[in-house]
A and B are shown apart, each in its own frame.
Chain A
Amino acid sequence: MERRPRRPVRRALAATAALACGSALLSACAGGDSGKPTLNWYINPDGQETLTQLAEQCSTDEYDIAIQLLPTSATDQRTQLARRLAARDSSTDLMSLDPVFVPEFANAGWLAPFEGDLADQVVDDDVLAGAAETVMWEDQVVAAPQWANTQVLWFRRSLAEQAGLDMSQPVTWDQVIEAAASVDGATVGVQADRYEAYVVWINALVEGAGGSIVEDTEAGREAEVTIDSEAGREAAAVIQKLADSGATQPDFTTSNEGTSLGRMFPEDGGPGEFMNNWTFVYKNYEGTIGTPGGPADQEAFEDLGWARYPRTVEGEPSKPPIGGIDIGVGAYSENLDFAQEAAVCVTSPEAQSALAVNDGLMPSRASVYDSPELQEAYPADLLDLYRESIEEGGPRPKSAFYSQISSAVQSVWHPPTSVSPESTPEESAEFLRAVLDGEALL
């Protein structure tokens, strides 16, 4: 009897809740009041502000573009996108993809290829060779290059001078390691934790010696494993040399792109370092002048030097790593045409220029390097170095099984202190073959 008066109240509450839920669902389905479709663009965290502006600029009367943020690590980005696409998610319209994911996703049928005029717009003669290469799969254009990344050798000019290393000429890894070891407190910064960037280093070393980790990658599991070669041994020799030298950093075996940044301008006034790292480094130090971990003042910042990625062997040009972001369009998108149109817009020269100037994410189009905004934002020789590195870089293997290839290499080559030219390439080739054949666990 006592409860009776409460029932209408409960019913009213339940009805209100149901109505609220229902209307929320309806509005979510409708994609806004006007019925205009909203395209979801999954981006990685680099250059969020610029990308948000781009999404607004590229929205039209026919569709809006909404930004959705992916996790920070490349592995997590890949996992999240793959899980959506494997479930045929129709709300994944546009996605920012690391170039090594493109073959995997395209082979799985998750990317809608660009055809006809659109394909010609996305990959024309203006797109740098290294970047264009990353979006092709089985003779189709499966993504649009948005920005390109590459690694260069960053160093303190004063350190190179003290070590007597002429940086105007191409340098080898041996020279860099010896130069750093010859100066008390100087180090060589690399990425040698057990993760993707370590494979980036190994791949660049192997390619720089004229070899490759695998060949004939379009054959899938049947790809030819070629890491057990003279080039593989040269690469292992470089890693072993660094590991045995006095030039390693304290976190050598767990180092990543961020950990060696603070050693360029140490607070105790040490000599600094040679560091192979991506293009973001210049803007990073420019933005940290006068702060801990950054250059003390403008003069110290001007001591920052850059050179082409070191050679693995004397006389053989280096093959700088290629990274960046390609824009893919989800094969299950309900608005495929709009999404591809939007992909062309967010990869336009203007968009690339804005990403380079605001966020240090370098263009994949040659013409953008000549734009006045970029010429003003970066030293001319640095821009030339970036452009040349992307044009002449060595991409990682393009394979639908790239993730397995990468993990197999990591598990044998890590920790870098255990690498030996006599055994590592051979062991690595055997293990990689077994992994591709499905006969070994990773």
Chain B
Amino acid sequence: MSSAAVQTATPTQPTGKASRTKPADSDRSRAENSLGRKLVAPAIVLMLLVTAFPMLRALYLSLFQYSLTAPEERSFVGVDNYVTALTDPLFWQTTANTVGIMVITVAFELVIGFAFAMVMHRVIFARGVIRTSILIPYGIITVVSGFAWQFAFSNTNGFVNSWLPFLGDDFNWFASYESSMIAIMVSEIWKTTPFMSLLLLAGLAQVSEDMIEAAKVDGATWFQRLFKVILPNMRAAIMVAVLFRALDAYRIFDNIFVMTAGANGTSSISFLTYRQVIEQFQLGIGSALSVLLFLSVLVVAFVIVKVFRVDLASARQER
């Protein structure tokens, strides 16, 4: 059977909106769709098993007071775990830490990352070497960079104190909240700025050289070209970079785990959840926290998309 014969048999919509209305499927395309669904079905089932099952299981477990080390004392408590979590100052303190880290690190990364992106975009000589050296920190595993920075900030064998003449050699960075947070954020910024610059480099490459050239001819200064031409034209790329990094920063765990283990009130929401489930074996309240973490990530994503009007479709150049 020829495909042309089938296609000519397809009835057309006799309305004025024909161009915007989806044409009805032919037998062949229905059969193809059906085959397609059958082919992807195993993958969908597998996806549901590996993603939906743990989430539903967490939701179920969050309704119990349940410790792994006392399985016989397990009891149904309804939404008590959520009430406990949401009324506990520690939950809000860790949430504030997490949001604080997210806002500060992303702001620094945006500025430094953009500068790096400009360097990578404009560099003429040794382009490969410069681009590679800028990207190296991102290739290092976060736990490893956490340890490296912990040693760097150590007051017994670190070098940071000797770099900062206004601090004594004995200054203990991990003794107070503020200095611990600075150490954690420095490590985070060092580690992920290259990722930001990589995303911004892609955006920078899309800015038409003709427009920049035209602005230059019109007598625009460097700053005017930057703020009036380059940045507005790479807005979509910037917003996507901010969204990706913000969501990533909201899940901060490794650096805190390595550098302070949550001491001096430096826990993040992920670390708090980890402590309940993995360290304390408290599956009930730990599951409630993981559900709240999941919901808060959705909220953060929603807020960033709405407030900053991130247009994912235009970033993908679909429009």
The residues of A with any CB-CB pair to B shorter than 8 Å are 75, 79, 82, 86, 104-105, 107-109, 193-195, 220-221, 250-254, 259, 400-401, 403-404, 407, 414-415, 438-442
Complex-state Cα separation, A146 to B71, whole angstroms = 28
How far in angstroms is the closest Cβ of chain A from B92? 10
**Cβ contacts A to B, 30 pairs, < 8 Å:** A75-B279, A79-B279, A82-B68, A82-B281, A86-B68, A105-B69, A107-B70, A108-B69, A194-B262, A250-B156, A251-B155, A251-B156, A252-B175, A254-B263, A400-B67, A400-B70, A401-B67, A401-B69, A403-B69, A407-B280, A414-B264, A415-B263, A438-B65, A438-B81, A438-B84, A439-B84, A441-B84, A441-B285, A442-B90, A442-B275
Which 9 interchain pairs have the tightest Cβ spacing?
Answer: A194-B263, A250-B170, A104-B69, A108-B69, A253-B175, A441-B90, A441-B88, A400-B69, A438-B65
Q: Which residues of A sit under 8 angstroms from B289, Cβ to Cβ?
A: 441
* B279 & A407 in contact (Cβ 8 Å cutoff): yes
Is the CB–CB distance between B284 and A254 below 8 Å?
no
Q: Which of B70, B77, B81 has the most CB of A within 10 A?
A: B70
CB distance from A184 to the nearest CB of B (A): 16
Bound Cα distance from A109 to B65, whole angstroms:
18
Contact with A along B242-277 (1 / 0, CB 8 A): 000000000000000000011110000000100110
B residues in contact with A250, CB < 8 Å? 155-156, 170, 172
Asked if B282 CB lies within 8 Å of chain A CBs, one says yes
Interface status of B318 (Cβ within 8 A of chain A): no
B:68-109 near A, CB below 8 Å: 68-71, 73, 77, 80-81, 84-85, 88, 90-91
> B: which residues have CB within 8 A of A?
65, 67-71, 73, 77, 80-81, 84-85, 88, 90-91, 155-156, 170, 172, 174-175, 261-264, 272, 275-276, 278-282, 284-285, 289
Q: Compute how far the CA of A442 lies from the CA of B68 in the bound complex, rounded to whole angstroms.
A: 16
Tell me whether A108 and B170 are in contact (CB under 8 A): no
Give Cα A195–Cα B261 distance, bound, in whole angstroms. Answer: 9
Which of chain A's residues have a CB closer than 8 A to the CB of B68?
A: 82, 86, 108
A195 to B264, CA, bound (A): 12
Residues of A within 8 A of B279 (CB): 75, 79, 403, 407
Q: Which residues does chain A contribute within 8 Å of B70, judged by CB atoms? A: 107-108, 220-221, 400-401
Cβ-defined contact, B172 with A403, below 8 A: no
Given contacts A441-B85, A441-B90, 18 further A-B contacts (CB under 8 A): A107-B69, A108-B70, A194-B263, A195-B261, A220-B73, A250-B170, A250-B172, A252-B175, A253-B174, A400-B69, A403-B281, A404-B280, A415-B264, A438-B65, A438-B77, A438-B284, A440-B90, A441-B276
**A259 vs B170: C-alpha distance when bound (angstroms):** 14
Nearest CB of A to B271, in Å: 11
- CA distance in complex: A440, B85 (Å): 7
Set of chain A residues within 8 Å of B285, measured between Cβ atoms: 438, 441
Q: In the complex, are the beta carbons of B84 and A254 less than 8 A apart?
A: no
Q: Residues of B contacting A79 with CB < 8 Å?
A: 278-279
Max count, chain A CB within 10 A of own CB: residue among B67, B85, B88, B170:
B67
What separation, in Å, do the CA atoms of A402 and B284 have in the docked complex?
A: 17
Chain B residues near A404 (CB-CB < 8 A): 280, 282
